[in-house]
Amino acid sequence: MQKIKIFDSTLRDGAQAEGISFSAEDKLAVVQYLDNFGVDYIEGGNPASNPKDCEFFERAKQLELKTSKLVAFTSTHKVGGDPSKDMSLNAVLQAGTEYVSVFGKSWDIHVTEILNATLEQNLDIIQSTINYLTKKGKKVFFDAEHYFDGYKANPEYALKTLEVAKNAGAVALVLCDTNGATFPFETEETVKRVVELFGDLEIGIHTHNDIGLAVANAISAVRSGATHVQGTCGGFGERCGNMDLCTLIPNLQIKLGYSCVPQENIELLTNTALSIAEAANIGLDPRTPYVGASAFAHKGGMHSDAVIKQPTSYEHIPPEMVGNSRRVLMSEVAGRSAIMLALQAVDPHIDRNSEKTKKVLSKLKELEHGGYEFEGAEASLEVLISKQLGKFRPHFELGKFNVVIHEPTEDKISCVASVKIRVDGEDEMTAAEGEGPVNALDIAIRRALGVFYPEIKKMSLSDYKVRVLGSKDGTASKVRVLITSTNGKKSWRTVGVSADIIEASWLALADSVEYFLSAVR
Amino acid sequence: MQKIKIFDSTLRDGAQAEGISFSAEDKLAVVQYLDNFGVDYIEGGNPASNPKDCEFFERAKQLELKTSKLVAFTSTHKVGGDPSKDMSLNAVLQAGTEYVSVFGKSWDIHVTEILNATLEQNLDIIQSTINYLTKKGKKVFFDAEHYFDGYKANPEYALKTLEVAKNAGAVALVLCDTNGATFPFETEETVKRVVELFGDLEIGIHTHNDIGLAVANAISAVRSGATHVQGTCGGFGERCGNMDLCTLIPNLQIKLGYSCVPQENIELLTNTALSIAEAANIGLDPRTPYVGASAFAHKGGMHSDAVIKQPTSYEHIPPEMVGNSRRVLMSEVAGRSAIMLALQAVDPHIDRNSEKTKKVLSKLKELEHGGYEFEGAEASLEVLISKQLGKFRPHFELGKFNVVIHEPTEDKISCVASVKIRVDGEDEMTAAEGEGPVNALDIAIRRALGVFYPEIKKMSLSDYKVRVLGSKDGTASKVRVLITSTNGKKSWRTVGVSADIIEASWLALADSVEYFLSAVR
């Protein structure tokens, strides 16, 4: 099986999508998901563009990755500048990655009209940027921006930029369809020519989806000899997005016989996609191929009947192969194998067909129907399973709480929460002020619990996300709150669902504290 | 320019999408949108499958369509049955359309395993169904279900079904990639063979998006000689959806020189897509090619600056060509040019270096430093700029509010909000219960404002997102609330930031109401 190198740009090009703003914390989590899945390269960001990316690369130095190599991104240095004094290049060197992506212009009118440089000057800065980084020991990928439009307009010049990059020491030449409007038959011809001329290097393809053909173009490039493919998980990216690796990888590996990630990891695909979408705080379109919630959902009566009789009748692969699951609408069935894994984590000897298993499955089904989603909330799932298997020993009970919010205020303190909790039959009532109701409630609960469990001070909340489920009910819609907590070494995620955002937050907070007290401290 | 017939199946195959349920009224509206846009065929439904479709065809008889022909859908009649006594065929005749789509099996194992018939029996029912309808004066399209999988498994038999359909009088043979997992290079070969053998009929292509290649496959079929393309607007459909006509049509007509709809109608594309998505009550993915809200949205600072200088730098067509528009997103990576565009929308004569401009820029900088993000919140930005330019006339003032949340509760109502607002010197105080504090506050404010502005009933909240800014302060971190509101025709987005989620929600809600009252109603 021919190996195709997978280059993930979710954290760089994906972050240019409308509505996405990754924190350094989010980025570190995404790197772990991608490394577990087994992609070859992870582009972490542009360290010169903002302090968050700097912080990310600094903290990423502590990561021990199994499969993936981190890549820092930069552009060619300024026309007439000195690479050794260039702020962006130095930021990239400080990022400390073995690999660097350098993007440069390959479309002549972009050189003259956007960069305001001569064609020769552009070749010079490609040369000196790559040469400088190579001499510093970096492995450099050259991203030829607008390559396809450039090749149409002035093929000699476009090819010349690649030749210069190669001679300067680039280890891969990446052809970018930056405006995303190339057709597969054009991609084929263009890539074949590059492979003929520069096939001794790794030839990469980077496509965008502006005319709905990003995946088709990447496949066309691979069939024409490209061996390195760039995209993002979920297809996030500027405008209509980048090529979706979660569609491309199974297409190449399951259908066309190429090797992209370790074969046993293909079933992690859906979970990887959902976890990354969660980190991005963007809901994955349910219709997303392979990994969407509707990808194997059958609605038409004829379809549903046939698919139960003979799955291949309306399914191109068994959904479990990519970690997804069949849904016959109106009778939802959760991904049983995934749930079995979680069950076995709590009770290693549990039987697939036992009454206990059935009880957990039916509880999960009920909660999922009510808007719960345990994909990005492993700690809540573990607490839930422990409860259902009778292995849960609660560390506290909530008596009651009351929160009052008032505006205007003289200071920032607009809320007061009072709570009553019970531990081993002993009540503790306390109150706290806070900047907002969740904060006031959080402080009050910790204060009350701290009387019994002083170690609670070690845990803190590191992220808090809210998604409205459905839109028809406006502000009365159910909301799903996802909380990420940390003790500085380990992070865990919990979920709560309610029409009341305070109650949903409370549920997620309670799971987080229980998980900390039972599994982490 | 070669004409390609456009066959829209939004009302039939599109209605099989998860979450879609058209009323007869919705269907009539969609027919009008499609006829105005100028598609050739509109498949209205399966009149035998439900009474809503029957009612639709009955009422559709009154429509006077300019361009489009209505099509009724049915399957081949039962094995061993008599076509003249078949309920489905008679329902189709009663629907009274000139055109009928008949779907039949062309994959041998589907005949034997799903239909439980012999291969010969299947040919018989194809023949007698089409023959019966043709004799009744109908023009029949034969939809060869699973044609691509069938052709791979047993090419002779797949071709035989087409031959039988042709001999029975079908006017078009439509090749369906029902499971949606065919690659363009396979489509090319398969369609070419059919065109060689049956090219005197109209050859159609009907693709699904299960491996992300529906549009690529349709284009491949057209380039191989197909002259009739089936899909849905927005790509709605079973599982991952049908081929999206809103991507295909501009691809063929703007880029590849085919003619699909009258040239002057291409600019109706975005409006048609949005109106149909509205009728389907499904939000269009913002990243949808050509018609999505993000399709021409620019976020990276370099992209924004370049696109303002030279639109073709990061836009493959002028967005107005398809009735969409450019959006330069305000973000941590956006440049000054982007902000100037927003300023000029409020005051067309504003100077780049005026004191007013500086005042707005400094206010924006201050707010962004405090966690605001106007990317995706154009309505808040417009309100803010109006305020800074002294052009803002407030429609109301908030006196005070007070929200109480308590748990446990006997019913779902856990919150009470009281608010006092002032309009033109007149106070209105009211209170409301709600499922959660934001809902209670929302209801109370609307109730109070409704006394002065009854039209407030027309606006509603369609999405609500919360993002915690930074992580170090846990639940005391600032939160950013993004609200999307709609009046059913237009959507607008607003933002609020505070450490108190209720206050942040209130700020976003207030901007939304002000924007509605000043710019939308």
User: What does the pLDDT look like over B303-320, one tens digit per residue?
Assistant: 777 887 888 889 999 999
In this predicted structure, the answer to whether residue B331 has a pLDDT above a threshold of 60 is no
Instruction: Kindly state whether A404 is in contact with chain B, defined as any CB-CB distance less than 8 angstroms.
Output: yes
pLDDT value at residue B472: 46
In this predicted structure, the answer to whether residue B199 has a pLDDT above a threshold of 70 is yes
d(CA A197, CA A166): 11
- Please count the residue pairs, one from chain A and one from chain B, whose beta carbons lie less than 8 angstroms apart: 339
Q: What is the rounded radius of gyration, in angstroms, for the C-alpha atoms of chain A?
A: 26
Residue type, A133: L
Q: Which two tokens stand for residue B42?
A: 């509109």
DSSP β-ladder status, B69-75 and B41-45? parallel
Q: Mean per-residue pLDDT for B331-345? A: 67
pLDDT value at residue A493: 84
Q: Which residues pair with A43 in a beta bridge?
A: A71
pLDDT value at residue A360: 85
Nearby residues of B341 by Cβ (< 8 Å), 6 or more positions away: B308, B328
Instruction: Kindly state whether B313 is in contact with chain A, defined as any CB-CB distance less than 8 angstroms.
Output: yes
pLDDT value at residue A329: 57
The pLDDT confidence band at residue B201, using thresholds 50, 70 and 90, is: very high
Cβ <8 Å between B209 and A287: yes
For chain A, list residues with pLDDT below 70.
300-302, 304, 328-339, 341, 369, 375-376, 412-413, 468-477, 521
Over pLDDT 90: what percentage of chain B? Answer: 59
d(CA A188, CA A256): 17
d(CA B73, CA B213): 25
In this predicted structure, the answer to whether residue B490 has a pLDDT above a threshold of 50 is yes
Among candidate residues B447, B451, B445, B452, the one with its CA nearest the CA of residue B512 = B445
d(CA B248, CA B255): 10
pLDDT value at residue A84: 95
3-state secondary structure of A432: strand
Mean pLDDT taken over chain B: 89
Instruction: Kindly state whether B464 is in contact with chain A, defined as any CB-CB distance less than 8 angstroms.
Output: yes
Listed in sequence order, the DSSP H helices in A427-500 are 437-450
In this predicted structure, the answer to whether residue B50 has a pLDDT above a threshold of 60 is yes
In this predicted structure, the answer to whether residue B269 has a pLDDT above a threshold of 50 is yes
In contact, A175 and A205? CB cutoff 8 Å: yes
If residue A66 lies in a helix (H) or strand (E), which one and from where to where?
none
In contact, B246 and B252? CB cutoff 8 Å: no
In this predicted structure, the answer to whether residue B3 has a pLDDT above a threshold of 90 is yes
* B contacts of A185 (beta carbons < 8 Å): 223
d(CA B174, CA B202): 8
Among candidate residues B225, B374, B312, the one with its CA nearest the CA of residue A21 = B374
Q: pLDDT for B103-161, tens place per residue?
A: 999 999 999 998 999 999 999 999 999 999 999 999 999 999 999 999 999 999 999 99
In Å, what is the CA distance from B15 to each residue of B19, B20, B170, B304? 9, 6, 25, 38
A495 against B197, higher pLDDT: B197
d(CA A148, CA A451): 66
Q: Which two tokens stand for residue B211?
A: 């491996």
Q: Tell me the whole-structure pTM to 2 decimals.
A: 0.75
In this predicted structure, the answer to whether residue B335 has a pLDDT above a threshold of 60 is no
Q: Which is it for the CA torsion B169, B173, B174, B175, positive or negative? A: positive
In this predicted structure, the answer to whether residue B183 has a pLDDT above a threshold of 50 is yes
In this predicted structure, the answer to whether residue B256 has a pLDDT above a threshold of 70 is yes
Contacts 24+ apart (CB under 8 A), B509-514: B509/B441, B509/B442, B509/B445, B509/B461, B509/B483, B510/B398, B511/B379, B511/B380, B511/B383, B512/B379, B512/B459, B512/B461, B512/B483, B512/B485, B513/B395, B513/B396, B513/B445, B513/B449, B513/B456, B513/B459, B514/B383, B514/B394, B514/B395
Q: Which two tokens stand for residue B384?
A: 């803010």
d(CA B80, CA B95): 24
Residues in chain A: 521
Rounded to the nearest angstrom, the minimum Cα separation between B415 and chain A is 8
The pLDDT confidence band at residue B333, using thresholds 50, 70 and 90, is: very low
pLDDT value at residue A334: 37
A window 145-204, beta carbon within 8 A of B: 178-181, 183-185
B512 against A480, higher pLDDT: B512
* A contacts of B256 (beta carbons < 8 Å): 183
Q: What are phi and psi of A290, to 5 degrees?
A: 70, -50
Question: Integer distance in angstroms from the first to the last C-alpha of chain B?
Answer: 43
Over pLDDT 70: what percentage of chain B? Answer: 94
Cβ <8 Å between A314 and B239: yes
B93, HSE (Cβ side, Cα atoms, 13 Å): 16
Q: pLDDT for A326-339, tens place per residue?
A: 876 543 333 455 56
Measured N-to-C along each axis, helices B87-95 and B119-135 cross at an angle, to the nearest 10 degrees, of 30
pLDDT value at residue A189: 97
d(CA A236, CA A16): 8
Residue entry with tokens 């991609």: A187
* Per-position DSSP letters for B165-206, written without gaps between them: HHHTT-SEEEEEETT----HHHHHHHHHHHHHHHTTSEEEEE
B window 229-248, beta carbon within 8 A of A: 235, 238-241, 244, 247-248
